[in-house]
Structure 1
Amino acid sequence: MKKLFLFIKNNKKKILVVCIIALLALFVVYKYKVSTIAADGWSDKVEPYDNYEKIDLSIKETFLDKENQITTNRYEQLFKYFAYGNVKYQSPEGAFIYYPGEISSRGRTINGIEGFARFFPLAAAWLSSNHSETLVLNDETYSITKTIKRGLLNGTNPKHSEYWGDVKDKNQRIVEAADIALALWISKDQIWSTLTTSEKDRIVKWLNLSVNKKIVDNNWNLFPITIVKALEALGYSDENNINFINNLYKKYKSKHYLGEGWFDDPPKGIDYYNAWSIHYSLFWLDQIDPTFDREFIRQSHSEFVKFYKHLFSENGFPIMGRSVCYRLAAPAPIVTSALIAPEEISAGTALRTLDLTWAHFVKNNALQKGKLTQGYYNDDHRLLDGYSGAGSCLWSLRSLIVAFYVDKYIPLFNAQEDKLPIETSDYKIANETIGWTVIGDQSNQKISLQIEKNINNKSYKLKDYSFNNRLREFLLKNPYRPNNKDALYKNYIYTTENELFITKE
């Protein structure tokens, strides 16, 4: 020990130099690592628009006032709320919508594309259902078609500063391209028909970048299929692409369809992606091309909602699984069934399910700052997947998108509401195909979802968004949210009381 002290005493300067070099080396390594994994735009913050508190309160009061507000007006005001948020957060050239909130691991560029792409179908459904394309939103005049067209044309222009970028394998742009293609089909008479041939060609070229790319083998299979079918219906038929998606669809069905309307969705398995992605996509394929596997799509839709409709009450539904911030899209297949499976779901049941779900979440502050919150009610990092940014949560709009679309064909918003199963009796219904049992208690409107394979599991609670998570995010400039797969998938019982998901944030 004395020799060590003596060595240090005699070599102080050398040791200091070595320490400085080591620290510099660590700093260089740190900077390099941050530069390679940091989410782009991590340090860019978006401020909410002026008077958002007043606007949030206004939509809450209007939408919840069923005694004095007719249904059509309540939903028109809901659309205008999201339209105002969309226009207030758009980039200078309109191709990106940057919402305030947490960004995803994919970065702000992708999040901005999501903001545009996930609102576009709602705007398209609004336009196609004979609503005005010019809106007065909080004393500001807003042209939906002009704003959408500007962003669309700039985003698909490789020479423009706001170009959305080329598409690589397993790229998030594939997901967003499907929404954009769908929206163009929905609004074909209002937007697509007003474009020049060269503008259409440019958009088609960008959309086709998402076809024939490697994709995740789950609900992602339906995205290139949607793109190709939408383009075919818009007059851009490509035989190679059609053969590709026909084979892709056959493989997807044969590999992932379980029966009774339910699909396996790797890597997590069975969850609400069946509702807000798979059956949502199948519905649109049926609408775009009535000859595209209509018998299977409509039969499976009917079988799916026969069980699925028992999950809803005035207290929401028993949430589980990933992408919790998509929760308001859950009623989508109930709404679409009123059009393509009316033997199982009436217009009155569809409206009741939609309305109770939206009212429940609006009442509990799920709408803030012109957008959906990033959690169950309020923002909640514990429930926010790494791939989810503020714009991601606009998938929640999918139940509204189909509602405005369906209302064109049946009087959805003018329907007399029918009671839901939970409002008429108690029940206990098992689905052996997926191993779920739903229990409804009419007396207190509580619905419980039992996942039978988890019967012997211990009870899992959500892990907190801890100091360690925050520190890693601060140092590495990338989301490091807690991994709550166990709490979201492995519990035996999930209920509409949802104590697990309510946060004080």
Structure 2
Amino acid sequence: MKLPEDDRTLSPHTGFTRDHWVATADGLLDAAWRYASPDQAFLDLPGRPSRSGVRSDGLEGYARTFLAAAFRTAHGDDPHNWLERYAAGLVAGTAGEWPAITDVGQPMVESASVALGLRLTKPWLWDKLSTSQQDRAEAWLREALRHVPAANNWYFFPYTVAAFLESAGRGDDETRQAKRRAMDLLEGWYRGDGWYSDGDGRAFDHYNGWALHLYPALDAFLDGNPITTHLKEHLESFHLLFGADGAPIYFGRSLTYRFAAASAIALGAVTGDTPLSPGHSRHLISNCLKYFLDRGSLTGGLLNLGWHGPHEATLQPYSGPASPYWASKAFVCLLADADHPLWTAAEERSDENQTLALPGPGLLIQKHDGVTRLHNHGSDHVRPFEGEYATEDDPLYSRFAYSTVTGPTSAKNPSDNHVSLVIRGDRSVRRRIHPLGARDNWAASWHRPVFDAHQPMVPGLRIESVTAVWDDQELRIHRVIGAPPGTRVELTGWATDLPSPLVNVRGWTGVGWLTAPQGTAFNPQVKVPTLTAEVEGTVTLAAVAVLGGTVQEADWEARVEEILRLTLDAPTS
């Protein structure tokens, strides 16, 4: 990919300008179009197929790259004639080539990118189609309004289709109902501090920025209406979840979308609904883009399936060859033209250390020396129908901590940043998380240890947990309640090759290391520091963890007592 020369005057930290974003979009599109079908309805990119099949994967290649092309050409600048190709593909695809939109099917996901692309490029693509071609495209898109989405952010796919149809003068009661339904659900998913759960329950992840805020906020902006999705409040915390090197927090599913994580920052800058200055916003989005371009995310000009480079454990069963192109959402920044302050203001970098508690989602952000850690006492991704005792470990949601320089170990390896009980040889996992509060420098929660089918549940067994932080130090307190005789407790720390000790403060009697041979998205193989203890009944244990540093000398026992008074031992009303 050929990029312009860096501009270290306007952008002293990244060197990136709007021209770099345009060139990146063009480079990604040029590489992807080498794999277009003869009728241009599919982009059949190389790689492992998704569970939806190759025709759906080809549609995904068309739709997600179309989104990048649409943001790239939204001001009418199309020197490479991208829109001519997408118009031809649309005509062929909606004439019967594309798979039909069905209940909870991948084509429904892709219909939103097609619809948003058409809305952004309406004068140069849609308006040049014949009436019959428009009718066929509408007929295919409208099926998104008539089929059942997955019970989460998917409701904004028919929402986005409906918004396009209304912008094209084809709105009706069906489109109005699709939009109203999604916004009613979104209101019910709001948990505070600018964060939505991705559906019922408590699933907090990057879908907040690249779906739940993006689709309705962008629709409002394009219509000239006020934004009502708490975007500005969300960005007050979300902007901290990037490292000094540009890495987003490695947390939640679909991380192969990579720099799509920057889309909410870009959207805030474009719409003005942001607490960040234009120069700060540009640094965050450009630093994130540069992070991935510099770390092997491209193979032959194509976004590969992984994080830095290919990485199987980063993927989900629905990930296919074109899945990474949801990264196209970051190009929403190009809706700001060359004269917009996002591109004309001098780039600003913020290196301020900060700790921020978010009681709504039950998260604690710890930013120190360019690394951000996210302490998780509220996000579990357990669907309501799964109940309290879902037994499958989910490394992307169940761990106590995540960061911008580490990834969790895989489900088949020892768990990092975890507390587990071992009873008769069975090791517990953490699934449904019950927040107990977050304030100042701490967050707390409790959970029932869940074992596999061979180990019956122990009545009354639970673990109460608190994380409290000072600078780069993490005090981790765990109270085991109702442990039967012969119970072993295991606490693990950070999975990384950085010096990251885990040191006993109270109750731990064993010290060791566990090996994770499958490694993480950051390291091919890692060792995980571990503390152990034999417990019975109710026992409180505490340890100090550090990521990439050393444990400071302090009266940690006194700090344990202080935090317990504020949290687990605090009087309840």
TM-score under structure 1 normalisation?
Answer: 0.74
Instruction: State the AA in 1 paired with 2:176.
Output: I
Report what 1:431 is aligned to.
Answer: 358
Relative to structure 1, is the Cα distance of residues 262 and 409 closer, same or farther in structure 2, using a 3 angstrom cutoff? farther
Uncovered stretches (5+) of structure 1, i.e. residues with no partner: 1-54, 136-142, 456-482
2:231–2:273 contact (8 Å) kept in structure 1: no
Distance 1:72 1:251 in 2: 36
Question: Of the candidates 313, 329, 334, which is equivalent to residue 398 of structure 1?
Answer: 329
Instruction: State the AA in 1 paired with 2:376.
Output: I
1:335–1:406 contact (8 Å) kept in structure 2: no
The alignment status of 1:351 with 2:282, answered yes or no, reads yes
Q: Number of residues paired by the alignment?
A: 398
Relative to structure 1, is the Cα distance of residues 409 and 165 closer, same or farther in structure 2, using a 3 angstrom cutoff? farther
Q: CA deviation at 1:152?
A: 0.7
Report what 1:174 is aligned to.
Answer: 108
Relative to structure 1, is the Cα distance of residues 295 and 360 closer, same or farther in structure 2, using a 3 angstrom cutoff? closer
Question: Of the candidates 287, 290, 301, which is equivalent to residue 370 of structure 1?
Answer: 301
Report what 1:32 is aligned to.
Answer: none
DSSP-derived class of the 2:39 partner = coil
Question: Of the candidates 361, 385, 405, which is equivalent to residue 292 of structure 2?
Answer: 361
Relative to structure 1, is the Cα distance of residues 382 and 365 closer, same or farther in structure 2, using a 3 angstrom cutoff? same
* Counterpart mapping for 1:297-446 below 5 A: 297=229, 300-315=230-245, 316-342=247-273, 344-400=275-331, 402-407=332-337, 410-420=340-350, 423=351, 425-442=352-369, 445-446=370-371
The alignment status of 1:224 with 2:158, answered yes or no, reads yes
1:349–1:419 contact (8 Å) kept in structure 2: yes
Distance 1:227 1:447 in 2: 36
Instruction: State the AA in 1 paired with 2:23.
Output: Q
Q: Deviations over 1:7-61 (max 9, x none)?
A: xxxxxxxxxxxxxxxxxxxxxxxxxxxxxxxxxxxxxxxxxxxxxxxx5xx55x9
The alignment status of 1:259 with 2:192, answered yes or no, reads yes
Report what 2:58 is aligned to.
Answer: 112
Uncovered stretches (5+) of structure 2, i.e. residues with no partner: 381-390, 407-495, 497-519, 526-573
Q: CA deviation at 1:283?
A: 2.1
DSSP-derived class of the 1:311 partner = coil
Distance 1:371 1:486 in 2: 29
DSSP-derived class of the 1:389 partner = coil
DSSP-derived class of the 1:412 partner = helix
1:125–1:186 contact (8 Å) kept in structure 2: yes
2:361–2:378 contact (8 Å) kept in structure 1: no
Report what 2:394 is aligned to.
Answer: 486
Q: CA deviation at 1:452?
A: 2.4
Q: Deviations over 1:284-307 (max 9, x none)?
A: 22124334xx3523xx00110011
More strand per residue? 2
Q: CA deviation at 1:109?
A: 0.8
More helix per residue? 1
Report what 2:415 is aligned to.
Answer: none
Question: Of the candidates 370, 374, 378, which is equivalent to residue 449 of structure 1?
Answer: 374
Q: Deviations over 1:123-151 (max 9, x none)?
A: 112112242x233xxxxxxx212211111
Relative to structure 1, is the Cα distance of residues 323 and 186 closer, same or farther in structure 2, using a 3 angstrom cutoff? same
Report what 1:474 is aligned to.
Answer: none
1:212–1:244 contact (8 Å) kept in structure 2: no
* Counterpart mapping for 1:73-92 below 5 A: 73-92=19-38
DSSP-derived class of the 2:357 partner = strand
Distance 2:35 2:54 in 1: 13
TM-score under structure 2 normalisation?
Answer: 0.65
Percent identity at matched positions?
Answer: 25
Report what 2:521 is aligned to.
Answer: 501
Instruction: State the AA in 1 paired with 2:522.
Output: I
Instruction: State the AA in 2 paired with 1:134.
Output: P
- Measured on the aligned residues, the alpha-carbon RMSD in Å equals 2.5
1:382–1:484 contact (8 Å) kept in structure 2: no
Instruction: State the AA in 2 paired with 1:258.
Output: R
Report what 1:5 is aligned to.
Answer: none
